[in-house]
Structures are given as structure tokens and as C-alpha cells.
Amino acid sequence: MSHDGEMGTDGDMGRAKAGSKKAARTTVEAKPRGGKRRRAFTSMEQAEHWLNDRINFERVRPHRVDPDDFKLGRMRALMDALDNPQDATPIVHIAGSKGKGSVCEMLAGCLGANGYTVGVYSSPHLVSVRERIRVGAEPISGRGFARIMSKVRDAAEAVEPEHGQPTYFECITAAGFLQFAEEAVDIAVVEVGLGGRLDSTNIASPLVTAITAIQLEHTAILGDSLELIAAEKAGIIKQGVPCLTVKQDEAVLEIFERTAEERGAPLMVLGREIDFTQRFEAAHAMGPHMRVCVGTGDQTLDHLPVPFEGEHQAQNCGLALAILQQLALRGFEHSERGVLLGLESSVKNGRLEEIWDNPRIIIDGAHTGESVRTLINAIGAHVRSDSMVVIFGCAADKDVDAMLAEIGRGGDKVIFTRAQGNPRAMDPEELRKRFEESHGKMSQVEPTLRDAINTAAKGVGRDDLICVTGSFYLAGEAKALFLAKREELAAAGV
């Protein structure tokens, strides 16, 4: 990947006192090109149509992506045209290959339950792009999205002659920072989109940074080794800003340690500088679940239940709680009761999320071999069923064979399909061929997810389970189908 000069600006940029509500919303106006201001979008559809016309690397096959396209110069120019709203809000910045979304949700839930107004920026979305920009659990409204995106459009057009057209992700990231500034949130939890060093979110000056587990991912863009990927993730480490991470490959930790030392940033590892223990519990009231204890200095949080299923979520929860303890040192106080309530209210959003109960259907955005493995293990430990039908579809550029090995281990029956409207989706016939050649199990193909669900539903009983996984696009399509079905039933008075 190409370098873009300096990292994002470090230091405190005129933030409000931690925990205090700002007196009024900030009004931010883009600097229009040529002195003329265009009419604002009048609908969500107009704004989304404009956004979808930007280049979207989430939908482009990696071999067609030029790593030189990832630069912070254009993003900084875009934010400058919007008067740098990212500097108006205290921020926690979270990167990683696996678990960063879960950490964001648990941290945001705990902060919200302790009385703070919390902005959450995440990606990708399941059903609506509005999910990427939330205040608390509420996505930005359609009207709000149109209003904010009108300002981003004006700023994007102002910088385009000199810097080129801002991308989809740059524009939606700018919209998130702008919304948080105008809503005067107390703090924002911001998830990195891709990598870290040159990710559009890396123009922020955070209070705390965190990096979750590192795995091989996006190798065509980030590099083909753990060390190269770790170096990109370490790009979010800022001068003097504490960085938290989890125990992982020693080569990865060495890169984090070297980067942190170069930037004078305290690095704290869960289970090393941060006291951490986890245990599995099968209490009747909550069912099977993990519990964690986290301690930093004089602060301890003991035996707290992990809200998401799976042993792997214990360290994600521990990391979220350790970040919370760092924020307490910076004025964001919390109570143990608030933390408990916050964990309970954490948004699942495609993480072993049940979207229908008869037949029982869960969705999960697992899209790597390791994440499918942890999904299958979590279902085995936490979800009771007589048998499971896996509906699977994935992008062609993923480690397909590793994922197929795991669904072969966990699925009693497998149906291959593809997400609609995703040019990266792999041909389900090819998936079936590779699966049957390597595992000797019978499977079938359906042309659409709707067909796959209908086929699966005909063959399952009350105690069976249908799991839709392989990509966020497929999980999101399933969720959208059943949201529409609920609306249809509600309209019919059922």
C-alpha cells in the first residue's frame, strides 16, 4: 500500500469535558464550489442513489483494486471542507481482523447504559446503509441521512477537482462524523473499515485505540502475511494515546509494541498488563454463557456475563471492558450496574442473531474459515437443536475451502446459494462442486436465498435449526426478507 505522508493529527482538539452534554448542536456547512449551494436531497432514496454512484471497494473484486487508491489526503481535504467535525467529538477507534464489531457494540452498550449519548460508526450494514451511523441503538433517520449527505455531497464536489472523486466509504465516514458533531454526542465508538493506517476513519484523534485479533484477510490489499496485516492495523496507534489489544501471535504483538514505542503510546495487552480471566457457565437463568473478570490498576469488573454466544466473544468482551476502564481515567465514569445493563442491551446485528422462530433461523456474518469455525463451535455450545441446515454463500475472493471445511463439520445438510446484487458472490454450483469433492457430503443449490430458505423450511422440524452464513450480504438479505414478512403479517393483522 502506498504511504500518504503523516498519520492523522494527534492530540486533544478542543473536546468538551468528558461526560458533559454539549449545550447545543453544532451546525456544520460544507464550503460550496464556486460559491453556489446545490439543493439538498429531498429523500433518503436521492441521497443513497448519489452515494451508490461513488466507487465502493466493498463491492469490487480485490484484484481490481489498486492499493494506491487508499490515501488519507483526499479524506483530510473532505473533512476540512466540512470544518473537521471529527475534532468535535471524543472518539474510541477500534481496528482488527476479527471481533472489532462485537467490541464496538459491547462498549457502546456499556457507555449508553451509564448515561452517555454514544455515536456508533460501523460497517458493513445488513439491511440499510443507515445502520452504519447510529446514536445509541437508533440508526440515523432517512430524513437525517438525506440532510447530512447533502452537506457531504457539497464538500465532495468542492474537493474533487484537486483530489479526485471521494469514494463511497469516505463519504459515509464523513457523514458519520458530521452527524455525531451535530447531535453533540458525548463520545463516538468508531470501527475501522479496512486495515487501519490508510482507512478513512484514521483522520480522527481518539482518546483510546484498540486492536482485536489479527488474521489473514484482504491479503491482496493489506499484505499476504500476519506481520504485514498487523503493520496496517497498527497504523491507528497515535502519539501518546493508549492502545489496548488481546494476546495473539508473538510476531503481531512485536509489531504493535514497536509501533507503540515509536509513538510514545502505552500498549496494554489483555491477560498481560490487564488482568483477565474467563470461564464457561451453564446457569439455568441465562443458559450456557461465558463470564469474564477484567482489572486495570485499581479498577475491577468481576464475573460479568458475555452477551454474545461463543468462547471467542469472551476476549472481545474483556477488551471492551478494559477500554471502558481506560475511559474512566478520562472522565467517563461507570457503575457496575450500568455495565451489566449495557452488556445486556448490546446490539447483535448479524452475530448469531435469531431472525425467525418457526422455523428457527439464525444469521451470522462469518466470512473467514476461522470465523465459520467459531460460529459452528458457538452453535454447538449455546444453541440446542436436533439437526442444522446451513445455507451458505460467500464472496469468490475469500478462503472458500477453509469455510467449506467448517460447514462440512457442522451442517447436517448444506444448501448453497448467492446474495443478490453482489458482483463478488461465488457461483453456488462451484461451491457445491468443491464441497462434494473435498468432503464427500451431498448438498444442493438454490438460485436465490428465498428459494434456499423455502427449501430448508420444508425439511426441518420444530427442534431443528437453519443457519444462514458466509457473508454479511447473505445475512443481511435474510434479515431483510424476514423484516418484510413481519411487516406483511402485521399489515394483515396476524
Q: Which of 189, 231, 172, 163 lies closest to 90, judged by CA?
A: 189
Q: What are the phi and psi torsion angles at 455 (to 5°)? A: -65, -45
Q: Give me the pLDDT at residue 66, please.
A: 62
**Per-residue pLDDT tens digits for 440-480:** 888 999 999 999 999 999 999 999 999 999 999 999 999 99
The C-alpha cell that represents 350 in the structure block:
448479524
Query: Going by C-beta distance under 8 Å and a sequence separation of 6 or more, which residues neighbour residue 113?
Result: 338, 339, 340, 341, 342, 345
Res. 4: pLDDT tops 70: no
Residues 73, 219 share a domain: yes
Phi and psi at residue 114, to the nearest 5°? -95, 15
Domain-located, residue 368: yes
Amino acid 68: pLDDT: 61
**Statement to judge: residues 368 and 234 lie in one domain:** no
CATH code at position 390 = 3.90.190.20
Per-residue pLDDT for 236 more than 80?
Answer: yes
Q: C-alpha distances in angstroms, 429 versus 357, 368, 369, 434, 437?
A: 29, 20, 20, 9, 12
**Mean local confidence (pLDDT), 316-324:** 98
Is 106 inside a domain boundary? yes
Chain center to CA of 333: 25
pLDDT (0 to 100) of residue 5 = 34
Share of the chain above pLDDT 90, in %: 74
Whether 49 is in a domain gets the answer: yes
- Cα–Cα distance, 96 to 291 (Å, whole number): 22
* Domain carrying residue 439: 353-491
The residues that bridge with 467 in the sheet, in sequence order, are 362, 390
- Selection from 59-63, 279-283, 379-383, 433-437 with the highest mean pLDDT: 433-437
288 is a domain residue: no
Strands 133-135 and 275-281: unpaired
On whether both 226 and 362 belong to a single domain, the answer is no
Q: Are residues 66 and 213 in the same domain?
A: yes
Greatest CA separation for the chain: 67
Give the mean model confidence (pLDDT) for residues 150-177. 97
Domain boundary among 292, 323, 343: 343
328: in domain:
no
Q: Pick from 343, 373, 404: which residue ends a domain?
A: 343
Q: What are 69's three cell numbers? A: 487508491
| Of 289, 315, 343, the domain-final residue | 343
- Asked if the structure places residue 303 within a domain, the reply is no
Distance CA 19, CA 112 (A): 11
Q: Residue 397 — pLDDT band, cuts 50, 70, 90? A: confident
Same domain, 222 and 369: no
Q: What's the CATH code of the domain at 134?
A: 3.40.1190.10
pTM comes to: 0.88
pLDDT at residue 82 greater than cutoff 80: yes
Check whether 7 has a pLDDT greater than 60: no
Could you tell me if 46 and 192 lie in one domain?
A: yes
pLDDT: is 230 or 367 the higher one?
230
CA distance 292 to 322: 11
Torsion-angle region of 383 (φ positive above 0: left; ψ -120 to 50: alpha; else: beta): beta
Residue 121 domain-assigned? yes
Yes or no: say if 222 and 189 are a contact pair by the CB < 8 Å rule.
Answer: no
Task: Give 394's pLDDT tier (boundaries 50, 70, 90).
Answer: very high
Nearest residue to 170 via CA among 193, 196, 139, 145: 193
Q: Which of 127-141, 271-285, 288-302 has the lowest mean pLDDT?
A: 271-285
Q: How far apart are CA 296 and CA 325, in angstroms?
A: 7
For residues 42-71, average pLDDT: 81
One domain for residues 103 and 233: yes
Q: How many domains does the chain have?
A: 2
Asked if the structure places residue 45 within a domain, the reply is yes
